[in-house]
């Protein structure tokens, strides 16, 4: 199973004109600013994300 993370916006200029880069997995290039970047999955957080504003969900 090869799940790809697709960015919706360029992290540099915010444009949505992204296309896969030939570098390989997770590599994208932005047609607006001509930047190429790579997304990398680092792993799951051990404790997950917790919203500070919700409060009350103590385990």
Calpha distance 59→40 (Å, rounded): 30
Q: How far, rounded to the nearest angstrom, does the alpha carbon of residue 39 sit from its chain's CA centroid?
A: 6
Cβ proximity to Zn ion: between 33 and 40 the closer is 33
| Binding flag, residue 33, Zn ion (CB under 5 A) | yes
Q: How far is the CB of 34 from Zn ion (least distance, A)?
A: 8
Q: 10 Å Cβ neighbour count for 28?
A: 20
Q: How far is the CB of 46 from Zn ion (least distance, A)?
A: 33
Residue numbers at the binding site for Zn ion (CB under 5 A): 10, 12-13, 15, 30, 32-33
């Amino acid at each position: 199973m090869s799940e790809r993370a697709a960015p919706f916006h360029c992290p540099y200029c915010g444009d949505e004109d992204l296309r896969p880069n030939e570098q390989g997995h997770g590599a994208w290039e932005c047609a607006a600013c001509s930047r190429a970047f790579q997304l990398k999955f680092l792993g799951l957080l051990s404790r997950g994300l917790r919203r500070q504003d919700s409060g009350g969900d103590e385990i």
